[in-house]
Each structure stands twice: as structure tokens, then as C-alpha cells.
């Protein structure tokens, strides 16, 4: 009968493990999944250390899920009990302090790894055609991580957790018409309270992780369908050997298995050092104010989000009423530049000019206040990353073959991002505010001017085969 079940036959002396795997393969494509996703997945042979952060991100994701499960066994999502339950985990639960520190250090490690992973994508053009969807899945993962970290940050119910959530949620109130109701809906109350803690706990433990796991799966499936990029920006699938595999690729297992295991070993050494000797990392990983129970009647002198949010928080804080005058001039100049230098259609230019005009009118005195535009720039500084595949008009993908002065453009961008991150952890002063405004302009200029500067200069010839030097 067609479609009848046929079980794989093995020799009588075959190892028990082989028979077990064969029994599973007859009922579930275990070996096929392993071979497609890693075992026989061919990757470019010239990967360098920049390509290790994807596997490290997977490791930390598993670490966060496992430690999070153990923490929820003793944590109580109740405004009157939350802080005490965290202290109970730290002091009374066997090895609870280790699990909690692994989870808190893992959160910061996750963002460090993801930022480095995104840096590799920027340097080697991993977002360029045909990998636009891979980049968009990765961007969605980044948004989920930000949401997961934000919701989880309130759970210790410390002073900084409480007031940080209060400030961030209040930002949504700056949105015209729906802002106040939206803030109320997010909090579940008129102030951050037990209702807020319960819904944040539900999002942090159930909702966001489910979405995150789905996006990670989509990211990996899309990656292995198209193929990995490489430092040279060459499509290795365009040069196949007699065996049907790219001549410049090697099987991920065992070659990159060993490569990644070495990276994992180095990471775990650094991670363990932080967990055991400096889990607070000078107040950057765990703020000292968060070891004080939340008090709705006592505001900390300086409220700031965790370090991985501070670059974008600095953009928000830099948006003052005086700075809006500079933004108005910058927007007008950008529209003129687009009309004179862009090859866009006349209709598209008109749409851009109309949107810019509406923004300029909204920034005029007496119209929408600076807080609203701060939220707009705050959100735009994150969302603009998603448009990288369409902003970069370079003739080559990798920075290796771009004009040398492009490296300085990237250096200025990375420096601006780091400075914004540092300023977000500091008390605002007039000098710091001006510096953050300059860095904000540099940050947005990198992206908005990319269609032009990315195509200028003398590009180096790209080789037909990947450049590889054996170790």
C-alpha cells in the first residue's frame, strides 16, 4: 500500500545508540534537522572571531531561560512580597544567590553579545541583499530583548526598578490623544503598583519569551536557507564544487563546533569572573539603589535605566526646546539635500517634503512640546536600525573593500553611540546635554546620509574567492 510505514533495518551488531537514533528518525526528522541546521550545514571557511557572537547569544538565551525558571520557583509577584522574596532567594535558598547573579549578569551579557553581533553585521554588510529578512528578524529579536529587559527590571521591586518603570511608562503619556490612556493601560493603575508588577511578571516570564523563541527560530531558518555571510561579502553559493557544495565552505560540524566551543570557554571564564567577583559591576549591572525596597514617597536623586538602554535614553534627554530649533534647521537642510542630490521620484520627494513640513510645524513654539519629540527621537533611534538594508547603497558589502575613510565614519558612529551610553548613566549637566545633542545629530546623520556617503569614494576590487589564511 502506498505510503505504508517502513522502518529502517540495522545489522544485528549495530550499536544501541545507532538503533535508537534510527528508531526516532523513522518517526521524527531528528537527524535531518541536525544536518540541515548544523551538522552538514556548509559555512564560509573564512569566519573570524566576529562570527562567534551568534552562538554565544544562543548560549545566553538558554542560560537566561534556565535560571529564570529556578528564580520563579521562589519569587512572589506581589508588591508587598517581591523585594523580600528576592532577598529570600539571595540569603536562604541554597545557591539562590548564584542563580540570581547568573540571571542578572546574563542580562547584561546578552546585550553586550547582541550589540557585538550587530556590529559585525554593520562592518561586513550582513544586512544586504539577499539577507534583508534575516536582518529584520534580528531587529525584531532586539526589540523583544529590550521589552523583556524592561519588564524584568521592575520585578526586584527596588528603588531604581520602581522609579525607572514610572519614568519610562510616563513617556507614553506624551503621545497626543491616546497617551494618558495608553500609560494607564500599561500600568494597570494610576501609578506603578501591584497590578503593574503582576502584568510585567506575566510578560517577562511567558509572553515575551514565547515570541522571542519564535523569532530566534525564524532568524536561524532564514539564515540557513540563504547561507551565512562572510568577512569578504562574497556569495559562496555562486561557486559550487563537484559535490554540490560551495568550494569556499566547510561543514559547521566539526570545524565550527570546535571554533564555537573555544569561544564559549572564553566567555564562560569572563562570565564566571563577573558573577563571582563583581556581579554589580560597579553599579552598572546591578544598581545600588535597587538593593533598597521601592518607596513611592522617596524619589532617587538620579533616575536612569540600565546601561543597555542609556544610548537611546540619552537621545530622549537631549531633546530640549532649544535643541528642537537645531532639529528644525537640520530637517529643512536634509529635505533640500534630498531634492538636490537624491534620485528618488518626484512623488517620493514630495511625500518626504510634506512629512518634514508637518514635523517642522509640530516643533514650533506653542505646538507639540519637547517631551513628545524626545519620545519620537527615542523611538526613531531604535527603529531606524531596521532600514539599514535599504539605506546602504555601497557597491560592496564588506568594509574591507570600501574606501578607507568609510572606517572613520563608522568609528565616529560607534564613538557617538558609546558616548551617548555613558552620558545616559550620568547626572544631566549643561555640558553633558550639549555633548549628547551633538552625538544625537551624529547618530542620525550616519543613517540618514548613508544613501550618499556609502556610495562615495574609490572602492577596492572584491576577489572572486574568499580570502583565507590557515592557522
DSSP of 393-414: --SSSSGGGS-THHHHHHHHHH
CA distance linking residue 278 with residue 330, whole number of Å: 44
Asked if domains 31-291 and 307-453 share a fold, the reply is yes
Architecture in CATH for domain 307-453: Up-down Bundle (1.20)
Contact 168, 200 (CB under 8 A): no
Across the 471 residues of the chain, what is the mean pLDDT of every consecutive 10-residue run? 69 82 87 85 91 95 96 95 96 96 96 96 94 96 96 94 90 84 90 93 96 96 91 89 87 91 96 96 90 89 88 94 93 91 86 92 86 92 96 94 96 97 92 95 96 93 82 55
Contact 346, 357 (CB under 8 A): no
C-alpha 285: how far from chain center: 17
Is the peptide bond preceding residue 46 cis, with omega within 30 degrees of 0? no
Under DSSP, is residue 43 helix (H, G, I), strand (E, B) or coil? Answer: strand
Binding site, residues?
103, 117, 204, 219, 224
What pLDDT is recorded for position 470?
Answer: 63
| Third-level CATH fold of 31-291 | Cytochrome Bc1 Complex; Chain C (1.20.810)
What pLDDT is recorded for position 367?
Answer: 84
What pLDDT is recorded for position 466?
Answer: 86
Binding site for a ubiquinone, residues?
224
CA distance linking residue 154 with residue 165, whole number of Å: 6
Binding site for heme b, residues?
103, 117, 204, 219
The 10 Å Cβ neighbour count of residue 347 is 8
CA distance linking residue 58 with residue 301, whole number of Å: 37
Contact 388, 135 (CB under 8 A): yes
How do the domains of the chain map onto residue ranges? Answer: 31-291, 307-453
CA distance linking residue 420 with residue 38, whole number of Å: 38
What pLDDT is recorded for position 2?
Answer: 56
Amino acid at each position: 500500500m502506498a505510503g505504508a510505514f517502513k522502518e529502517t533495518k540495522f545489522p544485528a551488531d549495530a550499536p544501541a545508540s545507532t538503533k535508537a537514533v534510527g528508531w526516532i528518525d523513522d518517526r521524527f526528522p531528528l537527524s535531518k534537522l541536525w544536518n540541515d541546521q548544523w551538522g552538514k550545514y556548509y559555512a564560509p571557511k573564512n569566519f573570524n572571531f566576529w562570527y562567534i557572537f551568534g552562538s554565544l547569544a544562543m548560549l545566553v538565551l538558554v542560560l537566561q531561560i534556565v535560571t529564570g525558571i529556578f528564580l520563579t520557583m521562589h519569587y512572589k509577584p506581589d508588591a508587598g512580597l517581591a523585594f523580600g522574596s528576592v532577598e529570600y532567594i539571595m540569603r536562604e535558598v541554597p545557591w539562590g544567590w548564584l542563580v540570581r547573579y547568573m540571571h542578572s549578569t546574563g542580562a547584561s551579557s546578552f546585550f553586550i553579545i547582541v550589540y557585538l553581533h550587530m556590529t559585525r553585521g554593520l562592518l561586513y554588510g550582513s544586512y544586504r541583499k539577499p539577507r534583508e529578512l534575516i536582518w529584520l528578524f534580528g531587529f525584531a529579536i532586539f526589540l523583544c530583548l529590550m521589552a523583556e529587559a524592561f519588564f524584568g527590571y521592575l520585578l526586584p521591586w527596588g528603588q531604581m526598578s520602581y522609579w525607572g518603570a514610572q519614568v519610562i511608562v510616563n513617556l507614553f503619556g506624551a503621545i497626543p490623544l491616546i497617551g494618558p490612556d495608553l500609560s494607564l493601560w500599561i500600568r494597570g493603575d494610576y501609578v506603578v503598583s501591584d497590578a503593574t508588577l503582576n502584568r510585567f511578571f506575566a510578560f517577562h516570564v511567558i509572553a515575551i519569551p514565547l515570541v522571542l523563541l519564535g523569532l530566534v527560530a525564524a532568524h536561524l531558518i532564514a539564515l540557513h536557507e540563504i547561507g551565512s555571510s562572510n568577512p569578504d561579502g562574497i556569495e559562496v553559493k555562486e561557486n559550487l564544487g563537484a559535490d554540490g557544495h560551495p568550494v569556499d565552505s566547510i561543514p559547521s560540524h566539526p570545524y565550527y563546533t570546535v571554533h564555537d566551543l573555544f569561544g564559549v570557554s572564553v566567555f564562560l571564564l569572563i562570565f564566571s569572573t563577573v558573577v563571582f567577583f563583581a556581579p554589580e559591576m560597579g553599579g552598572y549591572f546591578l544598581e545600588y539603589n535597587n538593593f533598597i525596597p521601592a518607596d513611592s514617597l522617596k524619589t532617587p536623586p538620579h533616575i536612569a535605566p540600565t546601561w543597555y538602554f542609556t544610548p537611546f535614553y540619552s537621545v530622549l534627554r537631549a531633546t530640549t526646546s532649544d535643541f528642537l530649533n537645531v532639529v528644525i534647521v537640520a530637517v529643512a537642510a536634509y529635505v533640500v539635500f534630498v531634492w538636490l542630490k537624491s534620485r528618488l521620484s518626484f512623488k517620493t520627494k514630495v511625500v518626504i517634503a510634506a512629512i518634514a513640513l508637518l514635523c517642522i510645524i509640530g516643533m514650533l513654539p506653542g505646538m507639540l512640546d519637547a517631551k513628545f519629540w524626545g519620545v519620537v527621537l527615542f523611538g526613531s533611534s531604535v527603529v531606524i536600525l531596521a532600514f539599514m538594508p535599504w539605506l546602504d547603497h555601497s557597491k560592496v558589502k564588506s568594509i574591507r573593500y570600501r574606501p578607507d575613510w568609510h572606517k572613520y565614519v563608522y568609528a565616529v558612529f560607534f564613538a557617538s553611540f558609546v558616548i551617548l551610553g555613558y552620558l545616559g548613566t550620568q547626572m544631566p549637566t549643561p555640558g553633558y546635554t550639549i555633548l549628547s545633542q551633538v552625538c544625537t545629530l551624529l547618530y542620525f546623520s550616519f543613517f540618514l546620509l548613508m544613501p550618499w556617503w556609502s556610495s562615495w569614494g574609490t572602492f577596492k576590487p572584491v576577489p572572486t574567492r574568499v580570502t583565507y589564511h590557515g592557522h
